[in-house]
Amino acid sequence: MIGVTLGDPAGVGPEVVAKSLPSLKRDQLMLIGNEENFLRVVSELHLDERKIRGYRFFDIPGKAVSYGKVQKSAGQIAVGSIKKAVELALDGDVESIATAPINKEAIIMAGSKYVDHTTMLSGLTGSKENFTVFETDALRVFFMTKHVSLAVACSQITRERVRSSITDANECLELLGVKRRKIAVAALNPHAGDGGLFGREEIETISPVIRDAQKEFDVSGPYPADSVFHRASEGAFDIVVALYHDQGHIAAKMLDFHRTVSLNLGLPFLRTSVDHGTAFDIAGKGMANPLSMVEAIKKAAKYGKSYRERRSALR
């Protein structure tokens, strides 16, 4: 059983979930969100109600919302949906959760002390580990740094962080059941620094850590970022450690934007997510592409049960 949160009801979350349902197994899903808003979206967008009605639904009460606007009421529903999904997952009523997008401003207006899904899931579960991995076809990307400026990200690339990222990327592959676990580390500078001509981070920080980590892990690099992701997409590596947000995001989304799925690993349960936002500009217009939502739910089904078993074994 997979818990599927509908995200911010003012965005495209309810639409992409509704459009996903006909291609998924009815008895495998529990929808979590505001049911009245969801059925309104289905009706107004003229979606085939016969293929959408009848799913298990955990209703999160709330006021009516308008499409495409940041609203406190929408944030309250989004936060309530996530909290209920976590509760169901911790109780074992759902194996994993797949989430539609939320709006950061709206959840803060609603009183959330967390700024996004990742921090909220960590806080609600008391998890010290919460790793983000993108999966797009054969490409997997682990992020050494996330939502910080590029200048801050560069300052965070320390020997300690490189080492922990290699260790954590290997653990992520273990949790996903990948046997080979071949890890590549992307370079920071063009041409991996070209022997120091374009920066010395590869020489002084990244390469020494990789050499030491090779005693324990199947890891190599640093490889120029303009080629390592392509090589991984063709099967040369099982995961690439990206050093900063856009380095990994651009690679995954250029490979297949609509089938890029975000996975949170390290929590007591697997969480998968679309890798796009609430798209307020097209909310309520019937234009949203559901492929990322479909893929997120399928990944939750593919990995969910075995993830819990492997996490328990690793602990």
* CATH numbers and ranges of domains, the chain: 1-130+268-306 (3.40.718.10), 131-265 (3.40.718.10)
Q: Indicate if the pLDDT at residue 51 is higher than 90.
A: no
Give strand ranges (E) for 38-152: 56-59, 96-99, 131-136, 139-143
The whole-number pLDDT of residue 205 equals 94
Can you tell me the distance from the alpha carbon of 300 to that of 270, in angstroms, rounded to the nearest whole number?
A: 7
Q: Indicate if the pLDDT at residue 196 is higher than 80.
A: yes
Mean pLDDT (the chain) is 93
**Mean local confidence (pLDDT), 193-206:** 90
Q: Indicate if the pLDDT at residue 309 is higher than 80.
A: yes
* Higher per-residue pLDDT: 54 or 169: 169
Q: What is the pTM of this model?
A: 0.89
pLDDT band at residue 48 using 50, 70 and 90 as cut-offs:
confident
Q: Indicate if the pLDDT at residue 307 is higher than 80.
A: yes
The whole-number pLDDT of residue 15 equals 96
The whole-number pLDDT of residue 53 equals 78
Token pair for 49: 């109600």
**Mean local confidence (pLDDT), 252-271:** 93
